[in-house]
């Protein structure tokens, strides 16, 4: 198979030379055509996304006979994958109007495939015990008063605001500046690191102000309270450097490469049909994170228990 592809690609080189150069996608895997092929799923680095991908991959493989390749990619890089043909679909996208403009409108290598059914919330959070001890802490205006509580080795004498993966959608640094908060943004590097810090903050009653989001399984176990920032209004985040308002609510959606949309057949249709609730996702995330299940095990368990939810996704 592979060698045939190599030969084909060699032939491609020759023919390309004849008719004017190689485009950036030349020689890449053809995306799965109508036949039972391979679906390349990007895996973005948070567990909610993995839950979506786990169930989608499980159903594609076990119920529909496809092969699924999962690729651990950060969001931006996953979008690049539409261009190169490395990625067929992203199954939980948080906004990214700029990427949509580049890849969907300008380059026309990707298409929107509709919402996942999940409502996305991004915000600043503190552990619940803090709201009891410092009732006004949930208002951003009083954050400066408590900055001392949040000092750490990394916060340069100010309060620490703990952010996640550098690739996540964030306005935090601009918010800190524009709201004149006496805080330093420190990037923990990953969702898992935030979760760990949050759990520690609850268990050991340590102060923590952090970037977090829903859907998120952790909320099912422990309580965290959102800090009120100036309310979001349409367009208040247009200039990323001047943002001084809270994050909007997101309708999380799915994106596919243009090629996959055109030739993906049943697999594409299936992904298009996929929608579920935050609770569904949190359940699978919980299996993944806390029950020590692999993606396949978690998906299998959920699929066995929720036939009614997924049956309609499978195209007739």
Partner 1 sequence: MTATSPPAVLRVTAAALVDATRRRGFWTRTVAAVLIVATVVAYLIFRTDGAADSDDAAAFRFFDSVRDWVDANRDTSPFFLYGVNYVRLGVRLLVDAVQAVLLGLGFAGLVAAVSAIGLVFAGWRTGLLAFGGFLAFGVLGLWEQSVDTLVLTVSAVLLSVLIGVPLGVLAARVRWVGATLRPVLDVMQIMPTFAYLAPMTLLFLIGEPAAVIATMIYAVPATIRITALGISEVPPTAVEAATALGSTRWQLLSKVRLPMARTTIVLAVNQTIMLALSMVVITALIDAPGLGQNIVNALQRVNVGAAFDAGVAIVILAVVLDRITTNAARRTRVHQNRRRRAIVAGGAIVAVIAAALITINPDRLPGYTFAEPVNDLVGWIELHWYDVTEGLKNGISAGILDPLETVLVTTPWWLFVLVVAAFGTLVSGWRAAGLAALAAAGIAGLGLWQHSMQTLATVLVAIALTMVIGVATGAFCARHDRLATAIRPVLDAAQTMPSFVYLLPAVALFGASRFTAIVAAVIFAVPPVVRLVERGLRDVPATVVEAATSAGSTPRQLLWKVQLPMARGGLLLAANQGIVMVLAMVVVGGLVGAGALGYDVVAGFSQRELFGEGLAAGLAIVLLGILLDRLTQGFHDSKGPRR
Binding site for partner 1 (CB under 8 A): 2-3, 5-6, 9-10, 12-13, 20-24, 26-28, 45, 47, 71-77, 80-81, 83-84, 86, 98-99, 102, 107, 152-154, 156, 162, 165-167, 186-193, 196-197, 240-241, 289
Asked whether 236 and 245 are in contact (CB, 8 A), the reply is yes
Nearest to 125 by CA among 215, 279, 228: 228
Shortest reach from residue 197's CB to partner 1, in Å: 7
Q: In whole angstroms, how close is the CB of 295 to partner 1 at the nearest point?
A: 11
Residue 119, both tokens = 């409502």
Residue placing its CB nearer to partner 1 in the complex, 180 or 311: 180
Long-range contacts of 9-13 (CB under 8 A, 24+ apart): none
Residue number with CB closer to partner 1 (72 or 249): 72
Shortest CB 97 distance to partner 1, Å: 11
Nearest distance in Å: CB 269, partner 1: 26
Following DSSP, what letter does each residue of the chain receive, concatenated?
-HHHHHHHHHHHHHHHHHHT---TTTTSPPPP-SSS-EEEEEE-SSHHHHHHHHHHHHIIIIIT--EEEEEE--HHHHHHHHHHTS-SEEEEE---HHHIIIIIIIS--EEEEEEEEEEEEEEEEEEHHHHHHSGGGGBGGGGGGGGGGG--TTSTTSEEEEE--TTS---HHHHHHHTT--EEEEE-SSHHHHHHHHHHHHHTT---EEEEEES-GGGGTS-EEEPBPSPP-TTTTSSTTT--SPPPEEEEEEEEEHHHHHH-HHHHHHHHH----HHHHHHHHHHHHHS---HHHHHHHHHHH-HHHHGGGS--
Q: Which is nearer to partner 1, 76 or 305 (CB)?
A: 76
Nearest residue (CB) to partner 1, 6 versus 35: 6
Beta carbon of residue 3, minimum distance to partner 1 (angstroms, whole number): 5
Indicate the residue among 26 and 35 with the shorter CB distance to partner 1: 26
For residue 124, the minimal CB distance to partner 1 (Å) is 17
Residue with Cβ nearer partner 1 (136 or 154): 154
242's CB contacts (< 8 A; 6+ apart) are 174, 178
Rounded to the nearest whole angstrom, what is the least distance from the CB of residue 22 to partner 1 in the complex? 4
Write down the least CB distance from residue 158 to partner 1, Å: 12
Give me the helix-helix angle, 47-58 and 278-290, nearest 10°.
Answer: 100
Closer residue to partner 1, CB minimum distance, 17 or 233 = 17
Q: Which is nearer to partner 1, 76 or 249 (CB)?
A: 76
């Amino acid at each position: 198979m592979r060698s045939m592809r190599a030969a084909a690609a060699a032939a491609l080189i020759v023919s390309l030379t004849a008719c004017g150069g190689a485009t950036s996608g030349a020689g890449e895997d053809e995306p799965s055509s109508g036949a039972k092929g391979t679906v390349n799923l990007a895996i973005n680095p948070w567990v909610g996304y993995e839950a979506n991908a786990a169930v989608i991959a499980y159903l594609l493989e076990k119920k529909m006979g496809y092969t699924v390749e999962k690729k651990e990619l950060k969001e931006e890089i996953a979008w690049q994958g539409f261009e190169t043909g490395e990625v067929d679909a992203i199954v939980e996208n948080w906004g990214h109007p700029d990427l949509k403009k580049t890849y969907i409108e300008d380059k026309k290598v990707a298409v929107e495939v509709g919402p996942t059914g999940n409502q996305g919330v991004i915000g600043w959070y503190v552990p619940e015990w803090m709201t009891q001890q410092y009732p006004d802490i949930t208002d951003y205006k009083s954050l400066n008063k408590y900055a001392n509580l949040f000092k750490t080795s990394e916060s340069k004498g100010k309060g620490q605001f703990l952010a996640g993966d550098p690739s996540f959608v964030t306005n935090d640094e601009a918010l800190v500046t524009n709201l004149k908060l006496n805080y330093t943004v420190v990037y923990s590097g990953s969702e898992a690191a935030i979760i760990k810090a949050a759990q520690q903050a609850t268990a050991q009653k340590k102060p923590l102000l952090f970037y977090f989001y829903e859907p998120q399984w952790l909320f099912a176990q422990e309580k965290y309270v959102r800090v009120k920032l100036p309310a979001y209004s349409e367009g208040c985040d247009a200039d990323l450097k001047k943002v001084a308002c809270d994050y909007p609510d997101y309708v999380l959606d799915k994106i596919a490469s243009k090629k996959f949309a055109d030739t993906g057949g049943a697999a594409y249709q299936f992904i298009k049909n996929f929608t579920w609730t935050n609770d569904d996702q949190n359940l699978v995330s919980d299996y993944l994170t806390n029950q020590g299940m692999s993606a396949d095990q978690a998906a299998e368990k959920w699929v066995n228990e929720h036939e009614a939810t997924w049956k309609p996704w499978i195209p007739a």
